[in-house]
Amino acid sequence: MPKDLNLSSLKPASARKERKRIGRGLGSGKGRYSGRGLKGQKSRAGSAKMRPGFEGGQMPVYMRMGKQRGSTSKDAMPIGPFRTQVWTLNVRDLDTRFEAGAEVTPEVLKQAGLIRNLRRDVKILGEGELTKKLTVSAHSFSKSALEKIEAAGGTVNRLKPPRVKKVRVRPKPAPSAEPEAAEETPAEEASASAPAEESAPEE
């Protein structure tokens, strides 16, 4: 123990910094406006409680950006009849968790812990490699997943018919019903071009 250590020489391990005494007169160094400057929103009480994203009343950025209209739009959030949330699995997950010849269904996937529940559809994706012959039953498959399952000798069972994309075809305009004018013969053209003869007066 150092000899100079006594009650009068005790000091904290780290330097202490006194807190700012705001609004305690000009002698405190933070008097008058208390470090808030002059007028304005941030000089008022409660100005630090503005919600995140508040831009002072101007049009916020989430309203200035474009949006996908309609709650059931194909490009909107996954709600409505057009877009639904699904459990996705890759063929590599099936290759590591199941033996050759196994039958894979949503119920088996739930028991194996690969999906949480049966309230959503199951979609099989094609990432990874599949070296085992499996019978896979799911609601939808990607194109690469179908190719890899069939290449390994397995079979695919769709629990829901594949969705067919409708293509709008504009109807062609109907042909006009007006008959085409018959071509005039040279004799008719000559008779039409010749001046009409005056009829002789009757006696």
pLDDT tens sequence across 102-121? 999 999 999 999 999 998 89
CA gap 114, 89 in Å, rounded: 8
**C-beta of residue 89 within 8 angstroms of C-beta of residue 122:** yes
pLDDT band at 32 (very low <50, low <70, confident <90, very high): confident
Q: What's the confidence (pLDDT) of residue 48?
A: 85
Q: What's the confidence (pLDDT) of residue 16?
A: 83
Distance of CA 117 to CAs 79, 103, 120, Å? 19, 18, 7
CA gap 189, 200 in Å, rounded: 25
Quickly count: other Cβ atoms within 10 Å of residue 54's Cβ: 9
| Beta bridge pairs of residue 35 | none
Share of the chain above pLDDT 70, in %: 75
CA gap 184, 187 in Å, rounded: 8
Domain spans, the chain: 86-158
CA gap 133, 99 in Å, rounded: 8
Mean pLDDT of 131-136: 94
Contacts of 156 (CB under 8 A, 6+ apart): 136, 141, 146, 149, 150
pLDDT band at 27 (very low <50, low <70, confident <90, very high): confident
The helix/strand/coil state of 1 is coil
pLDDT band at 9 (very low <50, low <70, confident <90, very high): confident
Quickly count: other Cβ atoms within 10 Å of residue 193's Cβ: 7
Q: Which is more confidently placed, 44 or 188?
A: 44
CA gap 89, 141 in Å, rounded: 10
Q: What's the confidence (pLDDT) of residue 90?
A: 96
Share of the chain above pLDDT 90, in %: 39
Q: What's the confidence (pLDDT) of residue 66?
A: 79
Q: At the top level of CATH, which class does the domain 86-158 belong to?
A: alpha beta
User: Which structure tokens are listed for 137?
Assistant: 């039953």
pLDDT band at 179 (very low <50, low <70, confident <90, very high): low
Q: What's the confidence (pLDDT) of residue 109?
A: 96
pLDDT band at 49 (very low <50, low <70, confident <90, very high): confident
Quickly count: other Cβ atoms within 10 Å of residue 203's Cβ: 3
User: Tens digits of per-residue pLDDT, 76-105?
Assistant: 555 555 556 889 999 999 999 999 999 999
